[in-house]
Amino acid sequence: MKKGMTWLAAMAFCVAIAAPAMAADPIKIGVAGAHSGDLASYGVPSLNAAKVVIAEVNAKGGVLGRQIELVAQDDQCKPELATNAATKLISEKVNVVMGHICSGATKATLPLYTEAKIVSMSPSATTPNLTESGTNPYFFRTIANDKAQAKLTSDFILNGLKAKKVAYLHDNGDYGKGFVDNNRETLEKAGVETVLYEAVTPDAVDFSAVVRKLRRAKPDILVFGGYQPTASKLLQQMRRDHVTTAMIGPDGLKDDAFIKMAGKDCEGVYASYPKDTSNLPAYKHALEGHVKMFGSDPGSFYYNGYAATQALINAIAVAGSTDAAKLVEALHNSPVETPLGKLTFSKTGDAAGMGLSIYQVKDGKFVELKHSLTLD
């Protein structure tokens, strides 16, 4: 293939050389995540991304001369529902899985996919141990893990905000606690004082007790670990009780639903998130695809989901097969052009080549700041 061949051109090439097989059964891509419930604002954009990519590839003839069939399963980001969703996808004989969305749900399903030898790729599950444990050889992701996010946010807290006293609140989940603990470890080693470290209950209605503790602790910054519904409720009660401490959180906070729920109370909040790549042709193409199919701009993690779907399809094309071992080899050795940039995958399954930035809510919108890093 010529070096300058685009991703879509490569797909067309693979279709052409495999055209005689068009009568074969479809290749099934499972898409699992929060398609309903409180965290649907994370899962639906990824589902939409898969729909856009698959429709485009099918319109050009599919891959390996076969059409692609999308098989969706809703887990609401709940581990107990996620295992049911994974079991259903396995029973429907999906070839690969794009998902799951949340770290807890992903963790619960990986033993099932490993046993079934099915490659899965999450656009948004960030717990480091999902890849670093070495027990999930068929798992990949198109998102920075919590250690990478914490490396960026802790550096920003130290060198950007010059904070001396930090409070930490988390939802006790794999995602939220992991983000907080990684920040705390780095900041305490740098001499930053921990003035509060506590878990909160995500479904709680009243956060007044912990808000009082925050007022007494007088931190320079609050590091929050968890999802936007909890952050929204916490912020609203903090501001109502005149606690003005700034908040910084992981990528789950950079969501339009967060701004809608928290309103003016989220003004000034910081969050880590993939670097703005809207200048890339692949990003513009992905955006146009969503607008054409759904008539609106996409939500959070759409581009991560788009990249994950692309990477899986590209691996099938390169491998010439849906065999898991061959797909793993292709993912490790075949870079793919995506809306996030040109991605490769490490031996553990983490994405390399994408960037992370700090964003801040200004005048009701997330604005990218200059503080950033690139994943190795």
Q: Are residues 30 and 50 in the same domain?
A: yes
Residues 6 or more apart whose CB falls under 8 angstroms from that of 44 comprise 34, 35, 299
* pLDDT attached to residue 20: 43
The answer to whether residue 1 is domain-embedded is no
Residue 16: predicted pLDDT: 42
- What pLDDT sits at residue 364? 96
As averages over each run of 10 residues, the pLDDT of the chain (376 residues) reads: 45 46 80 97 97 98 98 98 98 98 97 98 96 96 95 97 98 95 97 98 95 98 97 97 98 95 97 96 98 97 98 98 98 97 96 94 96 88
CATH of the domain at 135: 3.40.50.2300
What's the confidence (pLDDT) of residue 11?
56
pLDDT of the residue at 1:
37
Q: What pLDDT does 24 receive?
A: 82
Q: How far apart are CA 203 and CA 174, in angstroms?
A: 16
| pLDDT at 72 (0 to 100) | 98
132 and 211 belong to one structural domain: no
Same domain flag for 140 and 153: no
Asked if residue 50 and residue 125 are part of one domain, the reply reads yes
Place of tokens 């993939």: 274
pLDDT at 7: 56
Q: Could you tell me the pTM of the whole model?
A: 0.90
Are 350 and 368 in a shared domain? no
Number of domains the chain is built from: 2
Query: What is the pLDDT, as a whole number, of residue 192?
Result: 98
Domain hosting 259: range is 147-273+356-374
Residue 2 is assigned to a structural domain of this protein: no
Domain match, 233 and 266 both: yes
Amino acid letter for position 124: S
Could you tell me which residues come within 8 angstroms of residue 98 by beta carbon, excluding any fewer than 6 positions away?
29, 30, 31, 32, 46, 50, 120, 121, 123, 305, 308, 309, 312
Indicate whether 252 and 362 sit together in one domain. yes
pLDDT for position 376: 79
